[in-house]
Structure 1
Amino acid sequence: MYDLETLKTFDLIIDARSPREFKEDHVPGAINLPVVFDDEYAEVGTTHRTDPMRAYQIGVAYSLRNIARHLELPFFRTSKRATILVYCFRGGKRSKLWTDALETIGYKVQRLPTGWKGYRNWVRATLEDVPTKLRFNVLSGPTGCGKTRLLHALRQAGAQILDLEALASHRGSIIGGIPGHPQPSQKYFDTLLLEEISRLDIAKPVWIESESKKIGQVQLPTSLFEAMHHSRLFSVHTSMAERVLMWHREYPHFGKDPVALVEKLSYLKSLVGGTTVAKWKELAERGDIDALFESIMVDHYDPAYTRSTNKNYGKLGEITAIHLDTLDSSYLAGVAAKLILDDDMLPAPALR
Structure 2
Amino acid sequence: MSSTLRMADFNIQMKKYTASPSQFEDFDTIIDVRSPAEYELDHVPKSINLPVLSNKERHLVGKAYNEISPFKAKITGGHLVARNIAHHISQFLSHQPRSWRPLIYCWRGGQRSRAMATVLREVGWDAHTLKGGYKEYRKFIRQQIPILCKKLKFCVICGPTGSGKSHVLKELQNNGEQILDLENVANHRGSVLGWIPDKPQKPQKRFDSKIWEILKSFDVTKSVFVESESKKIGDIQVPDALICKMWDSDCVILKIDRALRVELLLKDYLYFVNNPSKLLHSLQPLKRNLSKTVFLEWEHLIKTNKMHDFVEQILEKHYDPAYEKSIKSHYKKLEDALIINVDKLKNHTFDNLAKDIKSNLDKLQIAKEAHDYRP
CA contact (8 A) 2:35 2:53 kept: yes
One-letter amino acid of the structure 2 residue matched with residue 284 of structure 1? I
The Cα shift of 1:313 comes to 2.4
1:229 pairs with 2:240: no
Equivalent of 1:21 in 26, 38, 55: 38
One-letter amino acid of the structure 2 residue matched with residue 312 of structure 1? H
1:42 paired residue number = 59
Count of equivalent residues = 348
1:158 pairs with 2:150: no
Aligned counterparts, 1:200-349, within 5 A: 200-313=218-331, 316-327=334-345, 331-345=349-363, 346=365, 347=368
For structure 2, the residue ranges without an aligned partner over 5 or more in a row are: 1-18
- Per-residue CA distance 1:215-254 (angstroms, 9 max, x = gap): 1111111111111111112121222232222222221110
- Per-residue CA distance 1:164-217 (angstroms, 9 max, x = gap): 111111111121111111212111111101111111111221111110111111
CA contact (8 A) 2:98 2:124 kept: no
CA contact (8 A) 2:53 2:81 kept: yes
Distance 1:225 1:255 in 2: 32
Q: 1:269 to 1:205 in 2, by over 3 A?
A: same
Q: Give the secondary structure class of the aligned counterpart of 2:218.
A: coil
Bigger Rg over Cα:
2
2:193 paired residue number = 175
- Per-residue CA distance 1:270-304 (angstroms, 9 max, x = gap): 32211111111000111111111221111111111
TM-score (norm 2): 0.88
The Cα shift of 1:316 comes to 4.7
User: How large is the Cα RMSD of the aligned pairs?
Assistant: 2.0
- Which stretch of structure 1 is more off in the superposition, 72-81 or 28-37? 72-81
Equivalent of 2:113 in 95, 105, 127: 95
Q: 1:328 to 1:18 in 2, by over 3 A?
A: farther
One-letter amino acid of the structure 1 residue matched with residue 94 of structure 2? F
The Cα shift of 1:3 comes to 5.3
For structure 1, the residue ranges without an aligned partner over 5 or more in a row are: none
1:118 pairs with 2:136: yes
Q: Percent of pairs identical after alignment? A: 36
One-letter amino acid of the structure 2 residue matched with residue 54 of structure 1? K
1:149 pairs with 2:170: no
The Cα shift of 1:260 comes to 2.3
Q: 1:263 to 1:32 in 2, by over 3 A?
A: same
One-letter amino acid of the structure 2 residue matched with residue 68 of structure 1? A
1:64 pairs with 2:82: yes
Distance 1:56 1:105 in 2: 23
One-letter amino acid of the structure 1 residue matched with residue 46 of structure 2? G
Distance 2:277 2:121 in 1: 61
1:7 pairs with 2:20: no
